[in-house]
């Protein structure tokens, strides 16, 4: 590097990637607060920087990009990048990196854990103890459901959907259906998974688990109509992005018994209000977006986000890039 490049570090990321950047001689400009920057602060702080290391709390929209078109690149610390207007970054010629793969195991554990916790009402029963309501053994109270031999429906079959399918087949001998834009031969070969359309997925699955990116096509796809097509005994799991489901309509479907339960690691909005009715429902488990929150996954994300920056300045390309067409221009 002829001149040391300045990277805006928007949050407190694991040291492993930050140290890699320091070792390579980058000048790092840290946002020191715990809270994310406001859009105005983000524009202001990016003005004297060459690149930004950011995550889903930063709104990298058209307004930001137009005011920050001097940036050489953007490195996103996440596999999802719906906070970034990638089309506009591409129009402006700004390459965007991301961090796939490294959180696959961690996120799958949360989807799998939510499925079991919901089926057995674990969070609700834990809250009963906290309220001092652990009475005597009651043969008919708060009964859950078993998962053995049930049908799993994956919406958006990719790396995490595949791992979820493997866990569910291994643990509960579940049949696997999936609905995806493209066939996923590995799931068909290893698990005899069947690719079906969205309506078949909804009608035939006992557990429907969303693993898709948030796009204009998937925004709100799990709405009242979709829930009305599901089995009344079905569980809905979302570890993808909150806006993939329509939350008021999900609440209505649970209240009316159109579906049986829900396990959510993502909500709309985030953070969720503490008086949201989902938090007091017996058949619902909600977590605060912790899919990738393991030491291993977050270290992997930090390393990958840093390597995207280092490689970009070394070679002009990066190992994990969202919009490689920028480099073809
Ligand atoms: C992602 O990577 O997109 C997760 O939602 C946060 O780790």
**Over the range 225-250, which residues count as b (16 or more CB within 10 Å of their CB) and which as e?**
ebbebbbeebbbbbbbbbbbbbbebb
Tell me if 12 is assigned to some domain.
Answer: yes
CA of 78 from ligand 1 middle (Å) equals 4
d(CA 310, CA 61): 24
Question: pLDDT grade, residue 315 (50/70/90)?
Answer: very high
Mutate to test the pocket of ligand 1, among 289, 291, 293 (most ligand atoms within 8 A of CB): 291
Kindly report, residue by residue over 82-115, the tens digit of the pLDDT. Answer: 999 999 999 999 999 999 999 999 999 999 999 9
Residue 299: inside a domain? yes
Q: What is the pLDDT of residue 210?
A: 98
Q: Whose CA is nearest to atom 6 of ligand 1?
A: 78
Same domain, 98 and 134: no
Q: 56: closest CA among 255, 305, 236?
A: 305
3-state SS, residue 56: coil
Is residue 123 predicted with pLDDT exceeding 80? yes
Number of domains in the chain: 2
Same domain, 88 and 112: no
Condensed to tens digits (0 to 9), the pLDDT of residues 26-66 reads 999 999 999 999 999 999 999 999 999 999 999 999 999 99
Atom of ligand 1 nearest to the CA of 78: 2
Report the C-alpha gap between 40 and 177 in whole angstroms: 45
pLDDT of 312 higher than 70? yes
Residue 1 placed within a domain:
no
123 and 226 together in one domain = yes
pLDDT at res. 294? 98
State what percent of residues in the chain have pLDDT above 70.
99
**Ligand 1, closest atom to CA 99?**
2
Residues 16 and 164 in one domain: no
Query: Rounded mean pLDDT of 269-298?
Result: 98
Ligand 1 centroid vs 129 CA: distance in angstroms? 32
**Pocket test residue of 82, 103, 104 for ligand 1, highest count of atoms within 8 A of CB:** 103
Identify whether 88 is a catalytic site residue. Answer: no
Q: What is the mean pLDDT of the chain?
A: 97
- pLDDT given for residue 325 in this prediction: 96
Output the DSSP codes for 164-200.
Answer: HHHHHHHHH--EEEEE-SS--HHHHHHH--EE--HHH
Question: Is 78 touching ligand 1 by the criterion CB < 6 Å?
Answer: yes
313 in the same domain as 270: no
> Mean pLDDT over residues 143-172, rounded?
98
What confidence score (pLDDT) does residue 180 get? 98
Looking at the structure, do residues 31 and 128 belong to the same domain, yes or no? no
103 lines ligand 1 (CB under 6 A): yes
pLDDT of 1: 61
Of 239, 241, 243, 247, the C-alpha closest to 264 is 239
| Distance (Å) from CA 175 to ligand 1 centroid | 27
CATH number, position 75: 3.40.50.720
Q: Is the CB of 79 under 6 A from ligand 1?
A: yes
Is 289 noted as a catalytic residue in this protein?
yes
Q: pLDDT grade, residue 192 (50/70/90)?
A: very high
Catalytic residue among 241, 245, 298, 320: 241
2 Cα–ligand 1 center, Å: 34
For 68, the domain range is 6-102+295-328
- Please tell me whether residues 270 and 316 are part of one structural domain: no
- Specify the ligand 1 atom closest to the Cα of 55: 6
Average pLDDT over residues 193-222: 98
Q: Write phi, then psi, for 286 (nearest 5 degrees).
A: -120, 135
Residue 32 domain-assigned (yes or no): yes
Instruction: Average the pLDDT over 225-232 and give the result.
Output: 98
- Residue 126 bears catalytic tag: no
Task: Find the 294 Cα to ligand 1 centroid distance in Å.
Answer: 12
What number of residues does the chain have?
329
Q: Which of 79, 83, 238, 322 for a ligand 1 pocket mutation test, highest count of atoms within 8 Å of Cβ?
A: 79
What integer pLDDT is reported at residue 3 of this predicted model? 73
- Quickly state the pLDDT bin for 275 (edges 50, 70, 90): very high
d(CA 124, CA 282): 5
Whether 43 and 108 share a structural domain: no
Pairing of strands 207-210, 194-195: unpaired
Is there a single domain that holds both residue 215 and residue 256?
yes
pLDDT band at 2 (very low <50, low <70, confident <90, very high): low
pTM (predicted TM-score): 0.96
203 near 227, Cβ under 8 Å?
A: no
Residues 257, 210 share a domain: yes
Q: Please tell me the predicted confidence (pLDDT) of residue 328.
A: 85
Digit-coded pLDDT (tens) for 22-31? 999 999 999 9
């Amino acid at each position: 590097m002829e001149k040391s490049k300045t990277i805006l570090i928007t949050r407190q990321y694991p040291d492993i990637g930050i140290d890699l950047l320091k070792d390579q001689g980058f000048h790092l400009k840290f946002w020191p607060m715990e809270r994310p920057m406001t859009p105005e602060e983000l524009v202001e702080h990016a003005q004297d920087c060459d690149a930004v290391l950011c995550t889903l709390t930063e709104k990298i929209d058209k307004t930001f990009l137009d005011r920050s078109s001097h940036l050489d690149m953007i490195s996103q610390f996440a596999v999802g990048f719906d906070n970034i207007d990638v089309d506009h970054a591409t129009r402006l010629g700004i390459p965007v990196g991301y961090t796939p793969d490294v959180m696959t195991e961690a996120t799958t554990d949360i989807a799998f854990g939510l499925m079991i916790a919901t089926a057995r009402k674990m969070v609700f029963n834990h809250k009963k103890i906290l309220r001092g309501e652990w009475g005597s053994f009651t043969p008919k109270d708060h009964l859950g459901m078993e998962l053995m031999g049930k049908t799993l429906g994956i919406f958006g079959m990719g790396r995490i959907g595949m791992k979820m399918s493997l866990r569910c087949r291994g643990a509960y001998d579940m049949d696997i259906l999936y609905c995806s834009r493209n066939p996923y031969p590995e799931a068909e070969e290893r698990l005899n998974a069947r690719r079906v359309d969205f309506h078949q997925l909804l009608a035939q699955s006992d557990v429907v688990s969303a693993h898709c990116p948030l796009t204009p096509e998937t925004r709100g796809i799990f709405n009242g109509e979709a829930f009305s097509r599901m089995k009344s005994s079905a569980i809905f799991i979302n570890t993808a992005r909150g806006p993939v489901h329509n939350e008021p309509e999900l609440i209505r479907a649970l209240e009316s018994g159109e579906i049986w339960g829900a396990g959510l690691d993502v909500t709309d909005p985030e953070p969720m209000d503490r008086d949201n009715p989902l938090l007091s429902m017996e058949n619902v488990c909600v977590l605060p977006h912790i899919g990738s929150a393991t030491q291993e996954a977050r270290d992997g994300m930090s390393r990958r986000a840093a390597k995207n920056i280092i490689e970009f300045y070394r070679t002009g390309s990066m190992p994990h890039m969202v919009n490689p067409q920028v480099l073809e221009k």
